[in-house]
Structure 1
Amino acid sequence: MKINSALKQYLTEMTLKSCIRWPSQKKLSPQLLRFSLEQMAKVFPVAEHIEIRQLKIANVHVEEIRPQARSTQLIFHIHGGAFFLGSTNTHRAFMSQIAVRTQMQVLHLDYPLAPEHPHPVALESIYSVYCQLLEQGIQAKDIIVSGDSCGANLALALALKLKQINPKNLPSGLMLLSPLLDLSLTSESLRYNQQHDALLSLQALETGISYYVPQNADPAAPEYSPLYADDFTGLPPVLVQVGSKEILLDDAQRFRDKARSAGVEVDFKLYTGMWHNFQMFSTWFEEARIALSDLAYFAHQLDQD
């Protein structure tokens, strides 16, 4: 029986709210939430006709997904999960869909999570992996750095770190999906979309930030909230994707405005009626499939430049 699309979306949102958002509002241990999330992620189908390889780069577990023997670009993805959740297991199906859509190699990382590893451990580990790829002969112009949710925070932080140390090592582009960029939680959408976002809760963000940001540190400092970095000038082209129901909607919009003011090329995409990380649901929803098509188009444009 074919389910009406509106009914399918309603049922999906209700399921997400009860199985993910509601538990994230409770004081459950990170270990329990991680296990639960990995079990729920098994409902997402991994794309066919791909090769998956487990690697270790700079002492970080990395998963490589190849849709073909050779590709001209590498997508370097940093998963989300409010800094204390998520893994290659939770994002494998999503990354496989991106690999198939773009026909590009995807590397996604099991970086160290908080609270066991507060800032700056995750960023330093990600930076080390990136630098080792360069040392292995991969050119920066052939890398696209991508991240979803807090992974987008780390992706932007990585780009800003590279810009400061050696701008020649900047990737060809950034893809920020449902980005969490302001850890001081001042975005208005945190309030007006609180009941609409099916996946992400304010409580989960507060928990993750308390784990990630060192005690007595200011979460609005640029090292934690890259939205407040002094200078975006010189960043490569950026794709920003966000759903209209997301509590992080304003993070994305504020970054767009600030980056464009600094002369950065920003391709901003807003998807009506979509919740946080809706792109992971591309096998079920047309809007998510459109988002992956937009992502592939952006990546291919970088490949041509």
Structure 2
Amino acid sequence: MKINPALKQYFTESILKSSFKFPSRFNLPPATARFGIEQLSRFIPQRKDVQIRSLRVAGIRAEEIKPQAHSTQLIFHIHGGAFFVGSLKTHRAFLSEVAARTQMQVFHLDYPLAPENKFPEAGDAIYDVYQQLLDQGILPKDIIISGDSCGANLALALALRLKEEDPKQLPSALILMCPFLDLTLTGESLRYNQNLDALLSIEALEAGIDFYVPKHLDPSLPPLSPIFGDLEGLPPTLVQIGSKEILLSDAQRFEQKATEAGVKVTYKLYTGMWHNFQMFSPWFDEAKKSLADIAEFAHRIDRS
């Protein structure tokens, strides 16, 4: 029996709000929150037509997801989770879908989480992993750096660091999914979409910032809030955001600032979608479209 799409979305949003968003408003201990999100992620089906290999790079646990023996591009993905949740387990099924759709190798890593590891531990670990991949002979032109939520923050911060230290190490492109780029929480959508977003609460963002940012640091510093960085010279960037997301303003402001800085930005807005909706592609057409758009963008970069 085919379920009415509007009814399916209503029930999904209701389940997410009650099982994930509502509990996240009560400042749960990180271990509890991590366990909960890993349990929820188990319901996302994992593709069987990809190979997954565990490895360790620069001392960090990672996984390589390969849809075929040889791929011309590597998608270096940094998972989200407000800096204190998320893991290889939470994103494995989603990234298996990305690998299958793009037919490109996906590499993702278990970077150190807050509060056990505050800024700049996560960014430094990701930078070291990227450098080791380059040392192994992978060319920057064959890498696309992607990230979802706070992972998009870390991805953009990595690109800004590479641009400052050695622009020749910049990847061929960036993919920023539902990006959390402003840790000062000044985006207007935090207010007008706070009740519409089915997955993410302001309280969860505040908890993540409190866990991640040392007390003596200003959260508006570009390494923490890369939307305030110098975006000129960044590679082509795909930005994906849902119309119901509380982080919608972060994506909108990035698109405007990056375009003004001369960056080639592909901005995609998905109607009726909530935070990290891409992970729900097995069930929703807009999420399926987002993966098709990722594949189209990655293939365009590969051809250029």
TM-score (norm 2): 0.99
- Return the offset for 1:178: 0.1
Whole-angstrom distance in 1 between the partners of 2:178 and 2:22: 20
Q: Deviations over 1:70-99 (max 9, x none)?
A: 000000000000000000100001000000
Whole-angstrom distance in 2 between the partners of 1:36 and 1:276: 17
Q: Deviations over 1:166-212 (max 9, x none)?
A: 00000000000000000000000000000000000000000000010
Structure-2 residue corresponding to 1:13: 13
Q: Which amino acid aligns with 2:271?
A: T
Partner SS for 1:43: coil
Structure-1 residue corresponding to 2:79: 79
Q: Deviations over 1:221-259 (max 9, x none)?
A: 112100001x21110000000000000000000000000
Structure-1 residue corresponding to 2:163: 163
Matched, 1:95 2:95: yes
- Return the offset for 1:220: 1.1
Whole-angstrom distance in 2 between the partners of 1:234 and 1:221: 19
Q: Which amino acid aligns with 1:237?
A: P
Q: Deviations over 1:88-122 (max 9, x none)?
A: 10000100000000000000110000000000000
Whole-angstrom distance in 2 between the partners of 1:78 and 1:20: 21
Partner SS for 2:75: strand
Partner SS for 1:267: strand
Q: How does 1:144-155 map to 2 (within 5 A)?
A: 144-155=144-155
Q: Deviations over 1:34-67 (max 9, x none)?
A: 0111011000000121100000000000011000
Structure-1 residue corresponding to 2:66: 66
Whole-angstrom distance in 2 between the partners of 1:281 and 1:109: 21
Q: Which amino acid aligns with 1:70?
A: H
Partner SS for 2:131: helix
Structure-2 residue corresponding to 1:184: 184
| Gaps in structure 1 of 5+ consecutive residues | none
Q: How does 1:31-42 map to 2 (within 5 A)?
A: 31-42=31-42
- Asked whether the 8 Å contact 2:183–2:225 carries over to 1, the reply is yes
Between the aligned residues of both structures, percent identity stands at 63
Q: How many residues matched?
A: 304
Structure-1 residue corresponding to 2:195: 195
Q: How does 1:207-226 map to 2 (within 5 A)?
A: 207-226=207-226
Q: Which amino acid aligns with 1:25?
A: R
- Asked whether the 8 Å contact 2:27–2:204 carries over to 1, the reply is no
Partner SS for 1:106: strand
Whole-angstrom distance in 2 between the partners of 1:159 and 1:223: 10
Partner SS for 1:175: strand
After the TM superposition, which parts of structure 1 deviate over 6 Å for at least 4 consecutive aligned residues? Answer: none
Q: How does 1:1-305 map to 2 (within 5 A)?
A: 1-229=1-229, 231-305=230-304
Q: Which amino acid aligns with 2:61?
A: H
- Asked whether the 8 Å contact 2:27–2:203 carries over to 1, the reply is no
Partner SS for 2:210: helix
Q: Which amino acid aligns with 1:138?
A: I
Partner SS for 1:122: helix
- Return the offset for 1:27: 2.4
Partner SS for 1:107: strand
Q: Which amino acid aligns with 2:55?
A: L
Whole-angstrom distance in 2 between the partners of 1:213 and 1:59: 23
Whole-angstrom distance in 1 between the partners of 2:188 and 2:21: 19
Q: Deviations over 1:260-296 (max 9, x none)?
A: 0000000000001000000000000000000000010
Q: Which amino acid aligns with 2:7?
A: L
Whole-angstrom distance in 2 between the partners of 1:49 and 1:181: 34
Partner SS for 1:199: coil
Whole-angstrom distance in 2 between the partners of 1:233 and 1:34: 36
Q: Which amino acid aligns with 2:250?
A: D
Whole-angstrom distance in 2 between the partners of 1:27 and 1:261: 38
TM-score (norm 1): 0.99
